[in-house]
Chains A and B, each alone.
Chain A
Amino acid sequence: MRNKFKAAIYLVIPIMLAYLLNTKFGSVPPILKFLNPFTGFWKNSVAIKQPKKSKLVLRNTKETVEIAFDDRMIPHIFAQNDHDAYYAQGYVTARDRLWQMDFQTRYAAGRLSEVVGVKALELDRYQRRMGMVYGAENSLKGMMENPKSREMIMAYTAGINDYIHSLNAGTLPVEYKILDFKPEDWTPLKCALLLKQMSAVLAMGSDEFYMTNILQKFGSAVTADLFPDYPFREDPIIPVGTKWDFKPLQVPSAPEANAVIQTSQIKTKQLEEGIGSNNWAVSGAKTASGNPILANDPHLNLTLPSIWYQIQLHAPGMNSYGVSLPGAPGIIIGFNEHIAWGVTNVAADVLDFYQVKFKDDTHSQYQYNNGWKNTTSRLEKIKIRGERTETDTVIYTHHGPVVYFKKPENLKMANNVPMGSALRWIAHDRSNELMTFYYLNRGKNYQDYRKALTFYTAPAQNFVFASATDDIAITANGKFPLKWKNQGKFILDGSNPADDWKGWIPAAQNPTVKNPGRNFVSSANQSSTAPDYPYYINWEFAPYERGKRINDRLTSMQNITVDSMRIMQSDSYSIFAENILPALIKAVDPAKLNATQKEALQVMNRWNKSYEADAIAPSIFELWTKRLFFNIWDDDFTIENIPMRYPSRDRTVELILKDPGSKWFDNVRTPEKETLPDLVFEALTYTCDSLERKYGPIGKGWKWANVKGTHVPHLANIPGFGSETLWNGGGKSTINALSESNGPSWRMVVELGKKAPVAKGVYPGGQSGNPGSPFYRDMIGTWTKGELYDLYLMNSPQDERAKVLNHLTIKKK
């Protein structure tokens, strides 16, 4: 008996050990499943030397497809029909980026808990409750309705799936091995989810909860004064004076003031200046060659693998090059022989919260138009790794989902969601953005551009355009609800039909300008138009400084070349500093300063107002102004249980310059009366102290690049898979709006003309999503230096202008 027991022990020990080393615990990967060289991570160490020619047989192609991979592993796809072009795009994108596509769409769909466990549950609930899947399902209906976009999405999906089916345990992307899960089949819904996620990143901003609290705390006079409907300084995208050559629709009139009461337990957060993109186009009149030049640098959170994937698509009727989003067919930003286009975000107010009055706690009916209306509910099944599936019930009104009845714990992104309110969001509507890119990719002229834009819903973008025939244009484009002025600046009344969205601004009447007299068009997320535009898009846009700098530069520049546009993309001159620094320096009494502060003040005095990597002035200026704004507003706008936001930078600058005796400078928390110089001095002291504490005595350690610490982290923050800290300049209010890990996610400059387009571009990453590939992050160095690579619009797979590393032939049999 004892021996039997012993024998059993000897049998069990190895089995237990094998089990332990094959299982994931917490965030530790399954050790030997991950480390063993036969199926573990070693297998992902791709050989640096690749064969010159390779072949694949994929029976889902219709005809032979040839793909040339150039010296940065960018695929140039030559297909003989549309289906094969998108099929091949799906296949090669998955080959390079499968895990990223999978992870991003899981994130969008609120399905992260399924693979990472309960720690992602609150985030998953948020995504579901915001209606991400609901919106994607609606969008997908729109995409499937149109035979062209249907073909795109089906072929792309088939390409991805054929790649997924070719994988085995050893060839799975390395992140699957770390997180220990397997890819599932791709579906068209995932393409829609990915586009919804772009809307979530770019068009989910909402201040109405904060604004409503401010209105209740301070009253309408103060609110109107501190949060004006148009900035003090502005340089709008559509030049002032542009005529609106259309007869506007009747705008609905505003109902009587709403009295909506909010309570909550959340603390306010200082608004961080978000995403800041630039684009511009100059007409031949301003360039050395006489050809138009277009430039674009969309700013996003920087991650590895890169957000973008470069590709050329060549098929009958199409020959287009640019960047695509892994997970969506077509090219989003790019060019062909005839036209070039690019985008920046429009901060349109396309997301509103409606206060809902429910009949009772069952939430089955709510008040509307003096009666009761039924709600519907949607069951969200959230699978959780290692635990039971959770079913979350989301109540829907005709506005949209009621996001929360109870504030979620520890989810910062939910802070601006008012409890018990329904969400009306453009991203929930049926749409078909793919057709915009379908037509742009094949576009030949201005008419094609205008036609393409009519298909676009969200996230609204400033589409800049240039054509080889020297037309330039820009359009603030998206599906904009027809609103009364300031509709949605505050929380709306969900029971009043007058508060509903009442139709749409006709696409043709979206703000647009073609060939303006100044010979350039530009955008940097600032106000779309001057106040004379007949419709309301939003009351607040991104601060004007970047746009102003771009317009100043383009106005003064002549004989523009591709290279001078490249240099301008890295321009780090701060209009904000130009505007405010003299007033700050004047407010400081030098007699009060210690040695460090004196030196800091001298540095500020000498500063050329450029955020250069090696300068120490930007570090001081950045902290100084941040602290000053805190000193001015925190006492008034950070109050427990009432989430609010600060007034804008623009309004604060106006106050400092125009009203230095303002009552807002007094700190209401102290009995003394503070003045602007007191706050400026405290902020300078604070700045010098904290820089000294963190970076040593004033000098080398204070250099901007060191203080800023720009780096590109891995998408799932896996240590070792991100970039090192990069040494570069730029700052939030400058053209090169680069902060810690947010900045130009793609830089492109294109010159069009009679000859082939001259195009250059770079993004901070590489084509491959495999951290073991030499092409994982090979472009970061060039990007950091502000340089660009040549982009080849090849005419055939044998085109010798591009240096081709690998020729791939895909055959049907």
Chain B
Amino acid sequence: MVFIVVLIASFLLQMVLPWWIIVPVSFITCCLIGKTPKKSIWEPFLAIFILWTGVALSYSLQNQHILADRVAEMFGLQTWWLILFVTALTGGFIVAISGICGYKFRKTILAKKHVSHSSVNN
């Protein structure tokens, strides 16, 4: 579920907002519906990895990777698909961190509530 939400929300929001909107998207999604820590890492990671790979390819294929090859060289990489991999990996990495933080955020808030609740009971 996190996967689908992050994928669709990120795609739509990035049309009009800067790239970093994917960070709150992942955070909020995992905060609200992240089921386990593992899923809160992997699902946003895969969503952005796939989304960014897809969008980057849609531009780069039509360009026969002329620009991607040059940018790869700029970063000291051999070929276009390495820069594509770096792009998707870094994008995935930041939403994975953001996702797990969102999940943990909920847990600490809930734990806090739980603690204060039980203290009242005592």
Partners in one complex: yes
Q: How far is the CB of B98 from chain A (nearest CB, A)?
A: 4
Q: Is B120 interfacial (CB 8 A cutoff)?
A: no
CB atoms of B66 and A22 under 8 A apart: no
CB atoms of A42 and B62 under 8 A apart: no
B47-75 interface bits toward A, Cβ cutoff 8 Å, 1 = contact, 0 = none: 00000100110011011111111111110
Which of A139-147, A216-224, A553-561, A770-778 is the contact stretch?
Answer: A770-778
User: How many Å lie between the Cα of A174 and that of B73 in the bound state?
Assistant: 15
User: How many Å lie between the Cα of A45 and that of B65 in the bound state?
Assistant: 7
Q: How far is the CB of B86 from chain A (nearest CB, A)?
A: 7
Q: Is A259 interfacial (CB 8 A cutoff)?
A: no
A168-179 interface bits toward B, Cβ cutoff 8 Å, 1 = contact, 0 = none: 010000100010
Interface bin, chain B: 35 or more
Tell me which residues from 1 to 24 in chain A have a Cβ below 8 Å from any Cβ of chain B. 3-4, 6-7, 10-11, 13-15, 17-18, 21-22
Of all chain B residues, the one with the shortest Cβ separation from A169 is B18
User: How many Å lie between the Cα of A49 and that of B61 in the bound state?
Assistant: 11
Hey, which chain B residues are within 8 Å of A6, CB to CB? 104, 108
CB atoms of A3 and B108 under 8 A apart: yes
Tell me which residues from 156 to 174 in chain A have a Cβ below 8 Å from any Cβ of chain B. 169, 174
Also in contact, A48 and B55, with CB within 8 A (given A32-B91, A720-B74, A772-B70)? no
CB atoms of B23 and A772 under 8 A apart: no
CB atoms of B90 and A35 under 8 A apart: yes
Also in contact, A772 and B67, with CB within 8 A (given A14-B101, A36-B91, A720-B74)? yes
Of all chain A residues, the one with the shortest Cβ separation from B94 is A17
The one of B14, B55, B73, B74 that contacts A42, using a Cβ cutoff of 8 Å: B55
Q: How far is the CB of A321 from chain B (nearest CB, A)?
A: 28
Also in contact, A17 and B87, with CB within 8 A (given A3-B108, A42-B55)? no
Also in contact, A40 and B19, with CB within 8 A (given A21-B94, A35-B90)? yes
Also in contact, A37 and B62, with CB within 8 A (given A32-B20, A719-B73)? no
User: How many Å lie between the Cα of A774 and that of B69 in the bound state?
Assistant: 12
User: How many Å lie between the Cα of A561 and that of B11 in the bound state?
Assistant: 60
Q: Is B5 interfacial (CB 8 A cutoff)?
A: no
Also in contact, A39 and B18, with CB within 8 A (given A17-B94, A32-B94, A772-B63)? yes
The one of B23, B56, B66, B71 that contacts A14, using a Cβ cutoff of 8 Å: B23
Tell me which residues from 257 to 287 in chain A have a Cβ below 8 Å from any Cβ of chain B. none
Hey, which chain B residues are within 8 Å of A33, CB to CB? 18-19
B88-118 interface bits toward A, Cβ cutoff 8 Å, 1 = contact, 0 = none: 0011001001100110110011011001000
Q: Is A41 interfacial (CB 8 A cutoff)?
A: yes
- Chain B residues touching A, majority SS: helix
Of all chain A residues, the one with the shortest Cβ separation from B110 is A3
CB atoms of B66 and A773 under 8 A apart: yes
For chain A, the count of residues having a C-beta within 8 Å of the partner chain is 44
User: How many Å lie between the Cα of A7 and that of B69 in the bound state?
Assistant: 42
CB atoms of B19 and A14 under 8 A apart: no
Also in contact, A48 and B87, with CB within 8 A (given A17-B97, A38-B14, A719-B74)? no
CB atoms of A720 and B71 under 8 A apart: yes
Q: Is A721 interfacial (CB 8 A cutoff)?
A: yes
CB atoms of A45 and B66 under 8 A apart: yes
Tell me which residues from 1 to 36 in chain B have a Cβ below 8 Å from any Cβ of chain A. 14-15, 18-20, 23-24, 26-27
Also in contact, A35 and B87, with CB within 8 A (given A7-B105, A169-B18, A772-B70)? yes
CB atoms of B63 and A17 under 8 A apart: no
CB atoms of B94 and A720 under 8 A apart: no
Q: Is A718 interfacial (CB 8 A cutoff)?
A: yes
User: How many Å lie between the Cα of A383 and that of B88 in the bound state?
Assistant: 36
CB atoms of B73 and A45 under 8 A apart: no
CB atoms of B98 and A14 under 8 A apart: yes
CB atoms of A47 and B63 under 8 A apart: yes
User: How many Å lie between the Cα of A44 and that of B59 in the bound state?
Assistant: 8
User: How many Å lie between the Cα of A178 and that of B75 in the bound state?
Assistant: 11
**Considering residues A33, A43, A721, A772, which has the most beta carbons from chain B within 10 angstroms of its beta carbon?**
A772
Tell me which residues from 575 to 632 in chain A have a Cβ below 8 Å from any Cβ of chain B. none
User: How many Å lie between the Cα of A178 and that of B56 in the bound state?
Assistant: 17
Q: How far is the CB of A541 from chain B (nearest CB, A)?
A: 41
Of all chain A residues, the one with the shortest Cβ separation from B14 is A38
**Considering residues B15, B52, B74, which has the most beta carbons from chain A within 10 angstroms of its beta carbon?**
B74
CB atoms of A42 and B19 under 8 A apart: no
CB atoms of A771 and B62 under 8 A apart: no
Q: How far is the CB of B100 from chain A (nearest CB, A)?
A: 8
Q: Is A46 interfacial (CB 8 A cutoff)?
A: yes
Hey, which chain B residues are within 8 Å of A13, CB to CB? 97-98, 101
Q: Is A58 interfacial (CB 8 A cutoff)?
A: no
Hey, which chain A residues are within 8 Å of B105, CB to CB? 7, 10-11
User: How many Å lie between the Cα of A719 and that of B111 in the bound state?
Assistant: 52
Of all chain B residues, the one with the shortest Cβ separation from A21 is B94
Also in contact, A10 and B104, with CB within 8 A (given A721-B70, A721-B74)? yes
User: How many Å lie between the Cα of A721 and that of B94 in the bound state?
Assistant: 29
CB atoms of A174 and B67 under 8 A apart: yes
Hey, which chain A residues are within 8 Å of B20, CB to CB? 18, 21-22, 32
The one of A3, A35, A49, A773 that contacts B112, using a Cβ cutoff of 8 Å: A3
Q: How far is the CB of A234 from chain B (nearest CB, A)?
A: 46
- Give me 20 A-to-B residue pairs in the complex whose CB atoms sit less than 8 angstroms apart, sorted by A's number: A6-B108, A7-B105, A10-B102, A13-B101, A15-B23, A21-B20, A22-B20, A32-B19, A32-B94, A35-B86, A36-B14, A39-B18, A42-B56, A45-B65, A48-B63, A48-B64, A174-B67, A770-B67, A772-B67, A776-B66
Having A31-B90, A36-B52, A39-B18, one finds 4 other A-B pairs with CB under 8 Å, namely A10-B108, A11-B101, A46-B62, A771-B66
Which residues of A approach B to under 8 Å, CB–CB?
3-4, 6-7, 10-11, 13-15, 17-18, 21-22, 31-33, 35-49, 169, 174, 178, 718-721, 770-774, 776
Q: Across the A-B interface, give the 3 residue pairs with the lowest CB-CB distance, nearest first.
A: A772-B67, A720-B73, A45-B63
